[in-house]
Amino acid sequence: MSIEERIAKRIAGEIVLSNKPWKTMRKWREMFKISQIEVASKMNISPSVISDYEGGRRKSPGSRFIKKFVETLIEIDKGRGGPTIKEFEKLIDLSAGAILDMREYSEPISVKELCSIIEAEIIACAHLGGRKIFGHTVVDSIRCIESLSGMEFLKLMGTTSMRALIFTKVSIGKSPMIAVRVHPIKPAAVIMHGTDHVDPLAIRLARIEQIPLALSYIENVDKMIDRLRRIV
């Protein structure tokens, strides 16, 4: 399967499974930096059709329309030299190693809401529990610390830094927070899984950076990812 096919499958699947497909369509179009007029022109339809779908004013599009919509985004991007496709290709390569799951939300949720979903307790900067989260990245902390370069660590942020970085296989949590501390772009929240005890230095660094730090007690990583994928 080509990289374009893999990307198309992921996007189409997310739109189809979304509770608010119109918002997911708009999100992906904006991520590709393509206007409604461009998409409509390529699909030989009126721009108002795209506008109505994205505004929720039309009945949710069928699978055939979604397939054409996604193929159009990719076709336009390829015509520009494939900048977005190339970025996703890098992320997919990383996904085979350090990244276990990465997702953008159609609507933001608060840190507190996210913690509730994955049975997490905020242990530092609880006063920032209302901060909005626009997505998450679940990371194998061992592979992340051992193998990712600085530029690759940046890719953990996906399309926005206003996301939660969730580190699994954590022993005491010091290394992940040091990595966050030295990197110029900070996540909106950090959640750790795999330990009952977080090193005091990690907590101190979270307070210095003013990043909510939470500890998830959910049974296992698979269960965590399953719950995260239910977020619209």
177-193 confidence digits (pLDDT tens)? 887 887 777 899 999 99
Q: Could you tell me if 137 and 158 are in contact, meaning their C-beta atoms sit under 8 angstroms apart? A: yes
21-66 confidence digits (pLDDT tens)? 888 899 889 889 999 999 999 999 999 999 999 988 988 788 899 9
118-131 confidence digits (pLDDT tens)? 999 999 999 999 99
143-165 confidence digits (pLDDT tens)? 665 555 544 555 666 556 789 99
Q: Which domain holds residue 117?
A: 98-228
Q: Does one domain contain both 120 and 206?
A: yes
| Final residue in a domain of this structure, among 36, 68, 88 | 88
pTM of the model: 0.63
Domain count, the chain: 2
**In which region does residue 194 sit, left (phi positive, over 0), alpha (psi from -120 to 50) or beta (all else)?**
left
SS3 23: helix
- Residues facing residue 192 across a β-bridge: 167, 215
Q: Is residue 93 part of a domain?
A: no
| Final residue in a domain of this structure, among 60, 88, 116 | 88
Q: Is residue 8 part of a domain?
A: yes
